[in-house]
Amino acid sequence: MRAFSWGEGGKSSYHYGGQAVLEGVMIRGRRGMAVAVRAPSGEIVLHAERFSRPARRWTRWPFLRGLYTLWDTLHWGLRALNFSANVALGESEYTVGPKQMAGVVAVALALAVGLFFLLPMFLMRLLAGLLPTPWLQALVEGCIRLGVVLGYLLAISQMGDVKRLFAYHGAEHKVVNALEAGAPLDVEGVRPFPTAHTRCGTAFLLLVVVLAVPLFAPLGGLGLGWGLLARLALIPLLAGLSYEVMRLGAEYAHRPAVRALLAPALLLQRLSTRLPDDGMLEVALAALARAREVDEDEKHRPEEI
């Protein structure tokens, strides 16, 4: 295991984020990502990778950066999950091939489209005779979609392995909240912070549900086939718009009015996070420290990126 230090805290000009993985946490920095995983032996195993310069250019363009961020998050998230699975299961080799990644992405996208777009639209069509206007149809479809999201989160949150995953999710949020508040980056320093964060993927999911209502409303007069195709075509726009709204909300979250608007998203995170133990906080702190080290190291060799 590589030696690491957790640092002294201090507010960062860059918004760090990440995700939970199997028995660990992945943290994304400006120039790379780091994964920390608790091995069966009890030690914390670290892995880090750098981002390419062309990839970072996409983050400068509104709406396009949202689409790129979603794909990039999925890409690095799969790599982090693969590494964590190898460590958690006691395997030493870290490999992920393009075919395996393409297969996982295809299955995940198919399930997401079917569960969160096709199913709500189909159920709304069953009630279409009772809904005289396209706006009312879009509202009912949005309510059904929200119910599906809530039901999905409630169902998986009862699984034992998912409970631990959600606890690591809470640990990731705690250390990022502590970093942004300038608190000491040790277990005692991050423990008091909440497990919710304004830039969480759960908040993004809620924004998608809400913004889909006005975006899909003009599609009410289309048939089932064309309606589905139109919704699929609008998903990139919906994703980019949701990302920009979440970005603005996170930037102005300190204002009371914005905080009130963000309250439902923060509340929803009670389903996707759990209170972590101190060992999980140690893992999240190790991932954050390593990600910050990568950023600091890359300042001195930008020509290699």
The answer as to whether 209 is a domain residue is yes
Do 76 and 26 touch, CB atoms closer than 8 A? yes
Residue 150 lies in a domain: yes
| Region label for 225, one of left (φ > 0), alpha (ψ between -120 and 50) or beta (otherwise) | alpha
Q: What is the pLDDT of residue 34?
A: 95
The count of domains in the chain is 1
- Full DSSP string of 124-143: HHHTGGG--SHHHHHHHHHH
The mean pLDDT of the chain is 82
For the CA atoms of 226, 231, 237, 238, the dihedral, rounded to the nearest 10 degrees, stands at: 160
- According to the model, what pLDDT value does residue 6 have? 41
CA distance 181 to 41: 33
**pLDDT tens digits, one per residue of 96-132:** 555 666 676 778 778 888 888 888 888 888 887 788 8
Q: In this structure, is residue 97 part of a structural domain?
A: yes
> Could you tell me if residue 2 is inside a domain?
no
Assess if residue 10 is contained within a domain.
no
The strand order across the sheet containing 24-28 reads 17-21, 24-28, 32-38, 44-50
Computed over its alpha carbons, how large is the radius of gyration of the chain? 20
In a domain, 3, yes or no: no
- Domain residues for 87? 17-304
Q: What is the pLDDT of residue 81?
A: 85
CA atoms within a 13 Å half-sphere pointing along the CA-CB vector of 28: 18
pLDDT by residue (tens digit) across 28-43? 988 889 999 999 999 9
Q: Tell me what pLDDT residue 305 has.
A: 37
Q: 11 lies in a domain?
A: no
The first and second tokens of residue 248, run together, are 């603005």
Of the candidates 104, 9, 102, 4, which has an alpha carbon nearest to the alpha carbon of residue 47? 4
DSSP state of 43: P
Parts of the chain with a pLDDT under 70: 1-14, 53-59, 90-102, 104, 298-305
